[in-house]
Chains A and B, each alone.
Chain A
Amino acid sequence: MAVRKLAPEELQPESFVFSPENEAFVDQQIAKYPPGRQASAIIAVLGKAQEQAGGWLPRKAIEAVAARLDMPVIRVMEVATFYTMFNLEPVGKYFIQFCGTTPCMLRGAADIKKVLERRIGDANHIPSNGTFSWLEVECLGACSNAPMVQINDDYYEDLTTENFEKLLDDLEAGRPVRKGSQIGRNRSEPFEAVNTLQDPSLYDGSLVGAWRNRFEEQAKAAETGEAAAALESVPGKAGRPGAGRAIETGAADTPAERAKEGETPINPVDRKEAADPSTATKGKSHTEEGARPAPQSSKSYVTTPSKPEGGSPVPESPTTPEAGTPPAQAETRRDGSESKPDVVVDKDNMTS
């Protein structure tokens, strides 16, 4: 985390007074909590103070919040310095919070960052015109629309260098901009074709209460002594109220129980399937590379009997491609389907 500090004295305003409407907001926030617990409203109040002061918290604002919430100033300082969402130094008119966390990074946040660095300069630095300033932040929770930035209060998603440049141009020129996705998709829907949740019955209300109805029917069937029949009539895995809980039931299907009832404990067909190497999970088993000890640092200060020569072991065949290889060219798949060999993977994310 970058080291942050209070803004230098020459940038600090002389005073800070809540505007009447913000004053009302503060009252409303304080009213949410029991009397004497007004300090609980601190985050909301600091946020409002930051909004009023132009996107950052001057010292006087922190003191005003402390006085308003009847707290020692140091307690307010603690909160203001703890949360990176509170800016302690002035920010540009458009304050860009750029997400650099893994999903955005994988989808090209590095390019977006280059744009920011080229157009605005270093993070936490306001160019002379004061229009923009930016900061790299942790995940903002819009990973499905990565890469993305937050500019003031709004998210701008699905960025590419081109549309991001245009977005910045538009903002700078004061032209209206489109919030949310920049490639025109609706929220986080699949951006080309919608293939799921298309059954119309999902939306006509016919399924409302269906799940519950089924339990009621089952309960009725059990009362009339037809429990077994009703259970059998439910195809597949029947959801039941006690799902996931260990409930005594005669319907359990374990080898031991099958043996007790005089059946073959293990179905020969099942056994054959389980032994079929083509369907087995293709996780790399340790035996493949020979028994190898867990990685250990040569600097370990407890004597380890099985220390491999030359420090940390490197597997003969790399399981991950070298850094920098574009995902599409990588030899191994890295989309989570490695262990599911029979799933067809569409590398271009183009579903039929």
Chain B
Amino acid sequence: MTKIIVDGVEVDVPAEYTLLQAAEAAGAEIPRFCYHERLSIAGNCRMCLVEVKGAPKPVASCAWGVRDCRPGPNGEPPEISTKSPTVKKAREGVMEFLLINHPLDCPICDQGGQCDLQDQAMAYGVDTSRFHENKRAVTDKYLGPLVRTSMNRCIHCTRCIRFSAEVAGVSDLGALWRGEDMEITSYLEKALGSELQANVADLCPVGALTHKPESYHYRPWELTKTDSVDVMDAVGSSIRVDSRGREVMRILPRVNEAVNEEWITDKTRHIVDGLRLQRLDRPFVRDNGRLRPASWQEAFATIANRVKSTSPQRIGAIVGDLAAVEEMFALKLLMQSLGVTNIDARQDGTVLSSAYGRGSYLFNTTISGIEDADAILIVGSNPRLEASLVNVRIRKRWRVAPPPIALIGEHADLTYPYEYLGAGPETLADLVSGRHSFMEKLRGAERPLIIVGQGALTRPDGLAVLSAAAGLARDVGAVNEGWNGFSILHTAASRVGALDLGLVPGEGGVTAQEMAQGGVDVLFNLGADEIEIAPGAFVVYQGTHGDRGAHRADVILPAATYTEKSGTYVNTEGRVQLANRAAFAPGEAREDWAILRALSDVLGHRLPFDSLNALRAKLYASHPHFAGIEMVQPADGAAAIQALAGIGGNLGREAFVSPVQDFYLTNPIARASGVMAECSALARELKLEAAE
């Protein structure tokens, strides 16, 4: 720790801190444009100038280390000033230079009201301009369907370039030409090829890069902000849902160091239009092969008729990927009271089960724990598509000091180099038996991390693969004191919560796949749209969008999406998070738990709660860990891998295939979104081009 005096306040900061960080530690505010704590230091905007005692001129505080400051003549701590007249004058000068070429189009600029330049010009600028020269004019660039450009406004901070090269790992953006002619663009104005590209618009301190799908739709001060959590993948990114009236206008990332840092994927951000389109806004009942609008009473009566005439062995329930813990709990209680054991939340057919202990299905290492791993093996997963922000963490780990990283599965571009071991279970078997050189690296590592994806588990030999992976983890000592390197990567937001609740077939029950293929006569489908249900069964679909599940349904109960209800979600690490209601469900659609409660009354098995709070009280009583919001309750990893490793089984020969083939269309909300459809088409094009 080093002492430094900031505006007369002495602070003790690590020597590797920059002056900017030291000033923040001392409570002094430093304006900045190019500096961003998660990107490399560029030092090119010059807005963060401070005065260092003894230095002949102001220095850029973002690029000057505390350890680079000279002490005073008698060994006093170095002294900097952030409020002196020199600093004020320097900032005013920099601001004036930045504004020479910046257009005065704030009234028609989407960044207006949320613009760093606007704010800082108010705080540190002067009120007039001394420049009468013409402003620079730059042609706008095409950067794909998500980022609108208005390059006259660009102040060349290069945050977008640094983000795409460093965090996203896709070097698409660059600065061409030089000096005043410098222009930010992609090579030949190709669309950006990253699933995190929309973050560059968030990073842009001015209005040069804005979000294209939502441009000109709102002003930031009109919006109601609700903190929530994302359900597009199992990462559970922290988001802020901004709504106006009853409509969600945009979704922004929220800083959460443990999960998403401050990035979100394009899917998380831009499914906003999917929340409006294709919505189920009233109950439907199928009559003579056609769905017709009906009242809630009618729909419930139809269901009650069928349920009462069917034996519990022929009733089943499947839970989809976007369900919150509350409605799954309500469904579980309802099915229990009906005496139904056919209940399954694993529509993709994964072999994970609560039977082997909680440690057998969590991402035990935790997402931030990836940064401590010193050898990484990925089995049957493409983390870039299945959990982009987990991939960002692996890349972050790789950038610090490349650990050995290897992959068994699809040979995809993960934005960092890795050793490609093979495509299928045979390679895993080779590795387990020590016939592979990577085994040495795993053995030699102190904190090896083995990530098992759903591509390895949603297959007939999934259990054998899981067992082999667990055996491998045991052999290389992946689970030891203070480190649990056996991690399952989920793709569905509801999955871990469902497994925590034990939503797997009970005694004599059948799995989701068996139910879908005619194992039951009455199937209650809670938003499962990724499974093909064979004709024959009477299907009750409770969901939000007119997707596959609704088309197959005999009764449709319209429900609320994750932005329209308060719900608990557990992410792949086992972190319990709360999604809050930002808007109301359209039409007659209701919150899921309330639908189930009302249905239970009609079925004659009234659920024992009348409010969400009462439901949660019951939930927390039976599953206490759900009460720990934002917390991860660690699981017993050693016991879990011991149990898994003991299962054994024969490994198949087929290659692992990632369950996420089209990143942009993985759930009903995304499939309803026009923006996602456009992105998906573009991604396909890029893929074809790359294949050529």
- Where the two chains meet, the residues of A that have a C-beta atom closer than 8 Å to any C-beta of B are 1, 3-4, 59, 72-75, 77-78, 81-82, 297, 299-301
Q: In the complex, are the beta carbons of B181 and A78 less than 8 A apart? A: no
Q: A3-B177, A72-B171, A73-B187 are in contact. List 19 more A-B contacts (CB 8 A).
A: A1-B178, A1-B179, A1-B180, A72-B165, A72-B172, A74-B171, A74-B173, A74-B174, A74-B187, A75-B171, A75-B174, A77-B174, A77-B176, A78-B174, A78-B175, A82-B176, A82-B177, A299-B130, A300-B130
Choose one: B171, B178, B188; the contact of A81 (CB below 8 Å).
B178
Rounded to whole angstroms, the CA-CA distance of A301 and B171 in the bound complex is 44
| Contact partners of A73 in chain B: CB under 8 A | 187
Q: How far is the CB of A246 from chain B (nearest CB, A)?
A: 17
Rounded to whole angstroms, the CA-CA distance of A43 and B179 in the bound complex is 19
Interface string of B167-193 (1 = CB under 8 A from A): 000011111111111000011100000
Q: In the complex, are the beta carbons of B177 and A4 less than 8 A apart? A: yes
Q: Tell whether B613 is near chain A: CB-to-CB under 8 Å.
A: no
Q: How far is the CB of B418 from chain A (nearest CB, A)?
A: 16
Q: Tell whether B128 is near chain A: CB-to-CB under 8 Å.
A: yes
Q: In the complex, are the beta carbons of B176 and A78 less than 8 A apart? A: yes
Q: In the complex, are the beta carbons of A3 and B181 less than 8 A apart? A: yes
The listed residue with most A CB atoms (<10 A of its CB), out of B165, B171, B187, is B187
Q: Please list the 3 inter-chain residue pairs (A to B) with the smallest Cβ-Cβ separation, ordered nearest first.
A: A72-B171, A74-B174, A81-B176
Q: In the complex, are the beta carbons of A301 and B176 less than 8 A apart? A: no
| Contact partners of B130 in chain A: CB under 8 A | 297, 299-301
Q: How far is the CB of A59 from chain B (nearest CB, A)?
A: 8
| Contact partners of B172 in chain A: CB under 8 A | 72, 74
Q: In the complex, are the beta carbons of A301 and B178 less than 8 A apart? A: no
Rounded to whole angstroms, the CA-CA distance of A67 and B244 in the bound complex is 49
Given A74-B174, A75-B174, A78-B176, answer yes or no on A1-B181 (Cβ-Cβ < 8 Å): yes
| Contact partners of B174 in chain A: CB under 8 A | 72, 74-75, 77-78
Rounded to whole angstroms, the CA-CA distance of A4 and B126 in the bound complex is 35
Q: How far is the CB of A9 from chain B (nearest CB, A)?
A: 11
Q: How far is the CB of A185 from chain B (nearest CB, A)?
A: 36
Choose one: A59, A74, A81; the contact of B177 (CB below 8 Å).
A81
| Contact partners of A82 in chain B: CB under 8 A | 176-178
The listed residue with most B CB atoms (<10 A of its CB), out of A59, A78, A297, A299, is A78
Rounded to whole angstroms, the CA-CA distance of A73 and B179 in the bound complex is 21
Show 30 A/B contacts (Cβ-Cβ < 8 Å), sorted by A: A1-B178, A1-B179, A1-B180, A1-B181, A3-B181, A4-B177, A59-B188, A72-B165, A72-B171, A72-B172, A72-B174, A72-B187, A74-B171, A74-B173, A74-B174, A74-B186, A74-B187, A75-B174, A77-B174, A77-B187, A78-B174, A78-B175, A81-B176, A82-B176, A82-B177, A82-B178, A297-B130, A299-B130, A301-B126, A301-B128
Rounded to whole angstroms, the CA-CA distance of A228 and B187 in the bound complex is 72
Rounded to whole angstroms, the CA-CA distance of A142 and B172 in the bound complex is 40
| Contact partners of B126 in chain A: CB under 8 A | 301
The tally of residues in B whose CB lies under 8 Å from a CB in A reads 18
| Contact partners of A3 in chain B: CB under 8 A | 177, 181
Q: How far is the CB of A312 from chain B (nearest CB, A)?
A: 14
| Contact partners of A72 in chain B: CB under 8 A | 165, 171-172, 174, 187
Rounded to whole angstroms, the CA-CA distance of A77 and B177 in the bound complex is 9
| Contact partners of B171 in chain A: CB under 8 A | 72, 74-75
Q: How far is the CB of B255 from chain A (nearest CB, A)?
A: 29
The residue on A at minimum CB distance from B170 is A72
| Contact partners of A78 in chain B: CB under 8 A | 174-176
Rounded to whole angstroms, the CA-CA distance of A351 and B175 in the bound complex is 52
| Contact partners of A4 in chain B: CB under 8 A | 177
The residue on B at minimum CB distance from A300 is B130
Q: How far is the CB of B303 from chain A (nearest CB, A)?
A: 57
Q: How far is the CB of B64 from chain A (nearest CB, A)?
A: 26
Interface string of B47-78 (1 = CB under 8 A from A): 00000000000000000000000000000000
Q: How far is the CB of A89 from chain B (nearest CB, A)?
A: 14
Rounded to whole angstroms, the CA-CA distance of A73 and B185 in the bound complex is 12
The listed residue with most B CB atoms (<10 A of its CB), out of A59, A74, A78, A82, is A74
The residue on A at minimum CB distance from B178 is A82
| Contact partners of B165 in chain A: CB under 8 A | 72
Q: How far is the CB of A24 from chain B (nearest CB, A)?
A: 27
| Contact partners of A75 in chain B: CB under 8 A | 171, 174
Rounded to whole angstroms, the CA-CA distance of A82 and B177 in the bound complex is 5
| Contact partners of B188 in chain A: CB under 8 A | 59
Q: How far is the CB of B158 from chain A (nearest CB, A)?
A: 11
Rounded to whole angstroms, the CA-CA distance of A335 and B187 in the bound complex is 50
| Contact partners of A301 in chain B: CB under 8 A | 126, 128, 130
Rounded to whole angstroms, the CA-CA distance of A77 and B179 in the bound complex is 15
Rounded to whole angstroms, the CA-CA distance of A242 and B126 in the bound complex is 51
Q: How far is the CB of B177 from chain A (nearest CB, A)?
A: 5
Rounded to whole angstroms, the CA-CA distance of A1 and B172 in the bound complex is 26
Rounded to whole angstroms, the CA-CA distance of A279 and B181 in the bound complex is 51
| Contact partners of B173 in chain A: CB under 8 A | 74
Q: How far is the CB of A73 from chain B (nearest CB, A)?
A: 5
| Contact partners of B175 in chain A: CB under 8 A | 78
Q: How far is the CB of B135 from chain A (nearest CB, A)?
A: 15
| Contact partners of B177 in chain A: CB under 8 A | 3-4, 81-82
| Contact partners of A1 in chain B: CB under 8 A | 178-181
| Contact partners of B180 in chain A: CB under 8 A | 1
Rounded to whole angstroms, the CA-CA distance of A187 and B176 in the bound complex is 38
Rounded to whole angstroms, the CA-CA distance of A294 and B174 in the bound complex is 43
Rounded to whole angstroms, the CA-CA distance of A222 and B246 in the bound complex is 95
The residue on B at minimum CB distance from A78 is B174
Rounded to whole angstroms, the CA-CA distance of A82 and B554 in the bound complex is 65
Rounded to whole angstroms, the CA-CA distance of A75 and B171 in the bound complex is 8
Rounded to whole angstroms, the CA-CA distance of A300 and B181 in the bound complex is 28
Rounded to whole angstroms, the CA-CA distance of A4 and B179 in the bound complex is 13
| Contact partners of A300 in chain B: CB under 8 A | 130
Q: How far is the CB of A27 from chain B (nearest CB, A)?
A: 22
The residue on B at minimum CB distance from A4 is B177
Rounded to whole angstroms, the CA-CA distance of A299 and B179 in the bound complex is 27
Rounded to whole angstroms, the CA-CA distance of A301 and B126 in the bound complex is 9
| Contact partners of A74 in chain B: CB under 8 A | 171-174, 186-187
Q: How far is the CB of B614 from chain A (nearest CB, A)?
A: 56
Rounded to whole angstroms, the CA-CA distance of A82 and B182 in the bound complex is 9
Rounded to whole angstroms, the CA-CA distance of A282 and B175 in the bound complex is 50
| Contact partners of A81 in chain B: CB under 8 A | 176-178
Q: How far is the CB of B489 from chain A (nearest CB, A)?
A: 28
Q: How far is the CB of B205 from chain A (nearest CB, A)?
A: 21
Rounded to whole angstroms, the CA-CA distance of A251 and B174 in the bound complex is 61
| Contact partners of B186 in chain A: CB under 8 A | 74
Rounded to whole angstroms, the CA-CA distance of A295 and B177 in the bound complex is 35
The residue on B at minimum CB distance from A84 is B178
The residue on A at minimum CB distance from B172 is A74
Rounded to whole angstroms, the CA-CA distance of A339 and B130 in the bound complex is 37
Rounded to whole angstroms, the CA-CA distance of A297 and B128 in the bound complex is 15
| Contact partners of B178 in chain A: CB under 8 A | 1, 81-82
Q: How far is the CB of A4 from chain B (nearest CB, A)?
A: 7
Rounded to whole angstroms, the CA-CA distance of A244 and B473 in the bound complex is 68
Rounded to whole angstroms, the CA-CA distance of A299 and B126 in the bound complex is 14
The residue on B at minimum CB distance from A63 is B187
Rounded to whole angstroms, the CA-CA distance of A3 and B171 in the bound complex is 25
Rounded to whole angstroms, the CA-CA distance of A299 and B130 in the bound complex is 7
The listed residue with most A CB atoms (<10 A of its CB), out of B126, B165, B178, B186, is B178
Q: How far is the CB of B485 from chain A (nearest CB, A)?
A: 28
Q: How far is the CB of B597 from chain A (nearest CB, A)?
A: 55
Rounded to whole angstroms, the CA-CA distance of A75 and B187 in the bound complex is 9
Rounded to whole angstroms, the CA-CA distance of A170 and B300 in the bound complex is 99
Rounded to whole angstroms, the CA-CA distance of A78 and B182 in the bound complex is 10
| Contact partners of B179 in chain A: CB under 8 A | 1
The residue on A at minimum CB distance from B131 is A299
The residue on B at minimum CB distance from A301 is B128
The residue on B at minimum CB distance from A2 is B181
Q: How far is the CB of A184 from chain B (nearest CB, A)?
A: 39
Rounded to whole angstroms, the CA-CA distance of A300 and B130 in the bound complex is 8
Rounded to whole angstroms, the CA-CA distance of A159 and B649 in the bound complex is 87
Interface string of B94-133 (1 = CB under 8 A from A): 0000000000000000000000000000000010101000
